Amino acid sequence: MLSTETDILREAEAWRRAGKGVALATVVETWGSAPRPVGSHLVIDEEGNFLGSVSGGCVEGAVITEAADVIQDGKPRTLEFGVADETAWRVGLSCGGRIRVYVERVD
């Protein structure tokens, strides 16, 4: 079961209160078939712990990796993922969908 948006934001707040670096990833745009709707969140701490979902498969791993850089340098990033139909299922984007994810540090 996926966590609710409230759960995800509460966890981000708890990690910040504990003194951890935190990034929040948000789906800001989708085209075609995408596993998660606009507004979906994934929160990541500096140790690589995470809660929520912005896609799945390799996309989520790439977002978590990028979030570590965002936590370090404080510079937000917009990431775009899209794949050809033949590789879509393997990386978590069914039917060749594309998504755009905004990743920002939580201060």
- pTM for the whole thing? 0.85
Distance, in Å, from the CA atom of 90 to the CA atom of 83, rounded to the nearest integer, reads 10
For residues 96 and 33, the answer to whether their CB atoms sit within 8 Å is yes
pLDDT digits (tens, 9 = 90+) for 19-74: 999 999 999 999 877 788 899 999 999 999 999 999 877 788 999 999 999 999 99
pLDDT of residue 36: 87
Q: What is the pLDDT of residue 5?
A: 83
57: Cβ–Cβ under 8 A, 6 or more apart, which residues? 90, 91, 92, 93
Question: What span, in angstroms and rounded, lies between the C-alpha atoms of 98 and 11?
Answer: 27
Paired strand residues for 57:
none
28 touches 55 (CB < 8 A): no
- Rg of the chain, C-alpha, whole Å: 13
Give residues with Cβ within 8 angstroms of 75, minimum separation 6.
Answer: none
One-letter identity of residue 106: V
